[in-house]
Chain A
């Protein structure tokens, strides 16, 4: 059942699917009984009630967060759910960060699924511990369990007025047999005390005083610092190394060659040369003094400008059919056909904290302190390289200074482990900003064709969509040269347009670098494509874009994509639980329309743009108000967004994630471009791969739609509608249609 992520193995398709939760229930927490056994653990100072909850005799409530914190607020969100069902006093909660441990189920913190997949299980864990405390009290008071309840860290018998604190009952409760899950009584949502409340993040004070520990901040006794220069072209390796000057740099201890990755990249370290030193500065200075000749690579000729032109050509010829709604339309009369091609360049994640891991390898095994989204894959990867069992690799998860998908690829964890093994001392491998931008797992370069045949009413009678981009599959299997099914599920085939004939196709694209998933993944290019094209249709039909969306989405229904030639993965969710619900599209469209009417209205050279997108089982609409002045200078003035993510645990964190998603989307749409010449990334740092700054940031108004639907994703769904909303606004304000990102190709920002 477990995907084997060892370095030497190629990934099976199923393993890759599992990474994305695309195998239906396969990734659902608790899908296998064993991984969720809530066994009472050894009694220590604290009474442990289950895998997630322990109570101290001092009445402290220790709640385990098994997912990685990277800014989404999960170290607050998961404990909120546990504490709610438990009946805990929030002031007595202490959050414990879970180590890599299979008993938690998947800990891979991406795909916007911590709450989406964990909400019900966390409630069960909370209810189970609550029931044990209640049972212990009921036994003591000789009253029926049904008469006992909890609130604010107290167990209460209302009839007699008896009450005891959690701390007083902890030991007795830990001796109570584990209640069966089907006997648990969950709270009514009306009685929630923490779920739905905007608690401050638990790490607030540590962050604001500089005490918070990120991966970069780990220091161990006798620890060495490593800086690694990696092959500049995928597929090349060290040919000649002259390290004589580097070894003379003060503080440099050693220079170590690392073997190059072979075959499909997977999570293999890239290889190269590591400089080991007593401090970061010496490692960096030593690295500068290295003299390396690299071998030739098959990718030396990769030029992204040429490659994109080829992709644009390819999407103009038939490809593989991945969806056919209704009969194929083969009649495209020129005067009735509207066609557009949209492109997005390679993009890099650029979390503020670049990848970093500290490893200590001893005879007993390996211990990691990793800024990782996926401690279990880190353990598997490292175990594979060191020839250890996974259980011999202990993974401590630090706070992450941003992740965005980069830190769910544990190549850098293996680098640290290999170096520690070799020098027999703890090693911290710190990627520099240049390393992060030049040696990452990039979001794929892409081209999309959208084409429609219009009827007399200017509405599309038939549509054709084609997408082409190097697949993430190429990172795990050589020869994966077409977009994978689960990749086109991300905003390409799953847009529920009520068009009589709708055909979706994919075209071939080979990878020339490591391709990875980045915040909202293929929804970035597909959201841009459909979001732009619907606006172009609206312009043609002389309708507001919001109205065109409503008409294209058609009547209220839950779209099941029956008989359309594909099985929709739906982010690993059942369509019955997380339906593609047209009314929920309408909900966010309506909310954003309302928001646009409030406040500043467009003046000369100003206009709104709009787009809506469903991803990760959440619905997000975004409108942006922009100005394009006579010198073609763009200013983004306002952003209005609405997100329907079903039940939300912490509304303020849903808001902040959506604010952040708008910033992320604006950065990539306005300025984001990684380009290749002779196989090498041309950009290196924030001067040529810029991020949005405060001066470019609009006012933002986010509405979180109230809903009792099951929780959807939150971290990613805000990103896809931003780019098309921006370029649609630019068109409305200036008449300039931008189909090729970033915007800086045509405007200054």
Chain B
């Protein structure tokens, strides 16, 4: 096995990559695995467009190296199982350009997996790392709250 052979588990599938272990997983999923739903926005952990889940917790793919995710479960937007959240996004007509929305959804899904009934300040806290330049925040918040309210009824 070459020195750089890395084993990754992404969206439940195993991958072997010949890549620099210091490469941020953002570029590996996008350029090497063709999973382009994870977006570049700043490369510095400032905007959240590249949010993925590592063992279920949100992380910025642009600051997470391949060696840091060895042996861990990585989920990208392509593997996200969150139908009710995605439906809520659609019902509230959240996206404008849509570029940041996979990161927004990943952050929101991570929040809901920890807290099924977040209130407004929980949502603010969980989502404040995700920038939307189009300014869809009020709809994002309404969409998350609608899922939270469904939980209350069920």
Contacts and interface: CB of A to CB of B under 8 A. Distances in A.
Interface of A: 69-73, 198, 200-201, 203-205, 207-214, 216-217, 219, 225, 250-251, 279-282, 284, 350-354, 399-404, 430, 432-433, 652, 656-657, 659-664, 667, 685-687, 691-695, 697, 699-700
A695 B124 contact: yes
24 contacts: A71-B134, A198-B93, A203-B95, A211-B37, A214-B99, A219-B31, A280-B30, A281-B23, A351-B97, A354-B40, A399-B98, A404-B133, A656-B93, A667-B133, A685-B44, A686-B44, A687-B44, A692-B137, A693-B131, A693-B137, A694-B130, A694-B137, A694-B140, A699-B138
A213 B89 CA distance: 19
A692 B31 contact: no
Contacts of A691: 47, 131, 133
Contacts of A404: 133
Given A225-B31, A281-B23, A216 B43 contact: no
Given A281-B27, A401-B98, 20 more contacts: A201-B95, A208-B89, A208-B105, A217-B36, A282-B20, A352-B97, A352-B131, A352-B134, A400-B97, A402-B97, A403-B97, A404-B133, A656-B139, A659-B135, A659-B136, A659-B138, A660-B96, A686-B44, A692-B135, A694-B123
Interface in B50-83: 76-78, 80
Interface in B65-119: 76-78, 80, 86, 89-90, 93, 95-102, 105
B99 A353 contact: yes
Chain A binding surface SS class: loop
Nearest to B102: A210
Contacts of B135: 659-664, 692, 697
Contacts of B123: 694
B127 interface: yes
A401 B39 contact: yes
B150 interface: no
Contacts of B32: 279
Contacts of A656: 93, 96, 136, 139
B141 interface: yes
Interface hub of B23, B37, B137 (most chain A Cβ within 10 A): B137
Nearest to A697: B137
A203 B105 CA distance: 16
A699 B130 CA distance: 18
A352 B133 contact: yes
Nearest to B106: A210
A660 B134 contact: yes
Q: Which of B23, B90, B135, B136 has the most CB of A within 10 A?
A: B135
B90 A204 contact: yes
Nearest to B85: A208
B88 to A, nearest CB: 10
Contact of B42 (A225, A251, A657, A685): A685
Given A352-B133, A663-B137, A200 B98 contact: no
Residue among B31, B36, B46, B86 having the largest count of chain A Cβ atoms under 10 Å? B31
B12 interface: no
B8 to A, nearest CB: 15
A251 B27 CA distance: 13
Contact of B101 (A207, A403, A692): A207
Contacts of A685: 42-44, 46
Contacts of A284: 43
B40 A695 contact: no
A686 B47 contact: yes
Given A280-B27, A691-B133, A352 B36 contact: no
B17 to A, nearest CB: 11
Nearest to A404: B133
A204 B95 contact: yes
Nearest 5 Cβ contacts at the A-B interface: A210-B37, A663-B135, A401-B99, A71-B97, A71-B96
